[in-house]
Structure 1
């Protein structure tokens, strides 16, 4: 797809917009045209080639989504260079450990990333920062506008002929490294090969089916690349909820991809939707999908995806709402995705788009999702919670994922079940429901409405129900269960 995209940008309406720019009023302007994006990619390929990056080299990238990031991805693919995705908000110690593991030959960071992380400047100026020598970590260059104190700039070599298209290593060559978990002492990262990345992009294309000349709103590469390859224009979501609501009204996108927290804040700001809406990266209950359709969307889809396999399954609101059994229905596995369960009920996944291995480790055929699940007779996946989220109450194992969907009533923004250690009884926990009401909801009316779902939980009925804002964490803004449990413990103690 990346080869096809580069060709399509030049030959298929190169004067059409590739990436749209939004304003405070929500109006759309042209941020970059298709042909200009191809030129930018060629310029970066020439600049990286001049820096000595060759097939098999590693390029660290800490750049916000946008035309430059897309151009760098295309340039790296052209050269056969693998990309290590770096999160500048991870903190200097974590980031340094990840750099040490990936050992990039060059790190590209925009000025904002350097300002957030505060790591590129000292790495660029010091030979030793209580870390391996700079030569082991690789040099740093600024992509885009350079602010004072940033590393030297890497500009596209516009007048230099781009290097020959090598295609890099064969299909099994590494394409991208994405860090997932681990500690400062032992970070973990998954490695996707060129073939695996291509398979994931094909799956997204078949699922979403972007159309030429349409507009797609989304901020992830798995959304942007298929859209651009199909001839659609893409728009990056505005960050402020009201601006996002105006953007949705002005653009009327045919396809929209937003995370559940983005959907909730957009809905609270009065957003109206059009076409098909997709959400993932965090749990999305049927009530949220229904609200999106009530706000104008033709279809509302929840996508089950992992860093190790994107996407794995998908379900539309009608099917999800019809699921009344325990657990969270995430849909049938997408073509090529295979499932299995361990003896503990942990969901295992594999398929053409699955990661090849963890960096520094041997290949693994199956992905351990960490999700407890059941499989329906027709093969659909029903999640029953995270294995590590299990609450132990009076020697009974309680999996929050089985019961949380029942708490998502129309007036509930988000709800989680967490365990709070019972004072004086090691190994025993109180089960607490933390419910975040929608703005303007009458708490007394909501507490009455919750009695029905709570009664149906049987032996898993919570010991306490608290109303409050659920803390979120990570780039995908998932519920932070540890912080939620700490909040509940403080509230109960008070």
Structure 2
């Protein structure tokens, strides 16, 4: 049974129950959610969407974006998350790889991408908007019509009207359903391909560890926690698009949240505003980055009646393991090395390579990377071991991966592209971790060419958004006469470079 079919069957069983509460408090029942998904499916098929068609998706988390994404997949299409703010060259490289036939965006984004003054403002804020309306594909807009929406574009509002016919099938469970660009350069963009089957397996694993069902209220903007919420018959509470830490804490209390998810650095900000979380909270999940001990202690103090859980997952395979805060503290209290990730979830295959790298497999593993051969086992880049209880322990990062919010930054993916720029002969990226939040300051160190301009760092700040992922852009750039090296092979000494970066100020 496909993921979409499971959700729609649940909706048919409890049509009058509230499925979604939007950021502004508007409610959507399970019956209306089901009707809208089927209406979008029917409307897309009637307008020519064919199995396997990619839909470039530029709609922020909302009930409308959920309905649209489910409707696309139910019709046999593929949702392509390419991030229009990634920079024009990166965006175009991703389009060349994914080759979507459709584009869905908020009407405001279509309009803004055509207005020069808005594009200039967005560029100053580090967001380079592509001209979505000029893309040679079918267009669909969400929201009221605005100048700049392409002529002939379909209206999401029109699609969800009327009573759609019932359907027998909701897409091929083993065909691509979602393409998620995660990293890469303009020369080599990288995208994870998930099927309905791999996503359904991931949702089952969340439900295995995280009790959900009628009466639960899950406050999150994370699709991979929201979907199991809906499949279980619980209520998904969405925060507003631009939600301050204080508003997030307030909504947890006002909506009677029983479950929530935060990135560690975000939770720290929430607790700065509200040191006591509501008594209704039973599960507090932390993920997308390692959870430092300081954040875990604050979480336990803020929600003494809740189970605080740290989720280990990757875009390619999620979730992998879940450990409670108390388990993690017990582990470190024994003097054991590494970060306890927890026991692998049922069905997740674990193996450790000779060099200590963690390799993963299982039904929740993506089908592969777009344009590459199918993936049977995932090399994570993480160094890990299994303890005597069969639990995963993270001991390091094979590729010096950096953590920034929800983004995993692999320096080796970006350094060659930066070093190839005019005025640069060498480039290296290092992170300076914040022990309180677990986030990292990203520092780019470059060696200038003999004819490099004196303002090389400033020029690079302006140039890099067109070259690398937006989330990989450095917080600081320092210019050095040479990169520090060590050993007979004169390999880059990243430890010494971090020391130099702490004293840099560019």
TM-score, normalisation: structure 2: 0.73
Give the corresponding residue for 2:131: 122
Contact 1:331 1:382 in 2 (8 A): yes
Q: Which residue of structure 2 lines up, in the alignment, with residue 286 of structure 1?
A: 293
- Displacement, 1:491? 4.9
Structure 2, gaps ≥5 residues long: 114-118, 120-127, 403-429, 448-467, 479-493
Q: Deviation of residue 306 (structure 1)?
A: 0.3
Residue aligning to 1:334: 345
1:318 to 312, 316, 326: 326
- TM-score normalized with structure 1 length: 0.75
Partners of 2:164 and 2:88 in 1: how far apart?
A: 37
Kept in 1, the 8 Å contact 2:284–2:307? The answer is yes
Match of 1:255 among 259, 262, 286: 259
Q: For 1:215 and 1:111, how far apart are their aligned partners in 2?
A: 31
Q: SS state of the match for residue 150, structure 1?
A: coil
Q: Paired residue for 2:84?
A: 88
Q: Secondary structure at the match of 1:142?
A: strand
Matches of 1:101 and 1:418 in 2, distance apart? 28
1:407-463 deviations in whole A, cap 9, x for unaligned? Answer: 95xxx344769999899xxxxxxxxxxxxxxxxxxxxxxxxxxxxxxxxxxxxxxxx
CA pair 482-203 structure 1, distance change in 2 beyond 3 A: farther
Map of 1:167 onto structure 2: 170
Residues 176-203 of structure 1, C-alpha deviation per residue, up to 9 Å, x if partnerless? 1111111112211111122211111111
Across the aligned residues of Structure 1 and Structure 2, the Cα RMSD in angstroms comes to 3.3
Distance of 2:444 and 2:215 partners within structure 1: 52
In structure 2, do the counterparts of structure 1 residues 58 and 491 end up closer, same or farther at CA, with 3 Å as the change threshold?
Answer: closer
- Tell whether 2:181 aligns with 1:158: no
1:314, distance to aligned residue in structure 2 (A):
0.6
| CA 1:161–1:244: 2 relative to 1, 3 Å | closer
Partner deviation per Cα, 1:45-100 (whole Å, 9 max, x = no partner)? 12211221122222221211121121122212321222212222212221221112
Which ranges of structure 1 fall in alignment gaps of 5 or more residues? 24-28, 126-133, 392-399, 424-472
Corresponding pairs, count? 413
Structure 1 SS opposite 2:26: strand
Match of 1:304 in 2: 312
**Where does residue 4 of structure 2 map in the other structure?**
2
- Counterparts of 1:44-55 in structure 2, within 5 Å, are 44-55=40-51
Label 1:229 to 1:176 Cα distance change in 2 as closer, same or farther (>3 A).
same
Maintained 8 Å contact 1:84/1:102: yes
CA contact (8 A) 2:61 2:221 kept: yes
Residue 227 of structure 2: which of 209, 225, 239 is its match? 225
Contact 1:83/1:176 (<8 A) preserved: yes
Alpha-carbon distance in structure 1 between the residues aligned to 2:302 and 2:499: 33
Q: Name the SS of the counterpart of 1:159 in structure 2.
A: coil
1:30 deviates by: 3.2
Given that 1:144 and 1:153 are in contact with CA atoms closer than 8 Å, whether structure 2 keeps it comes out as no
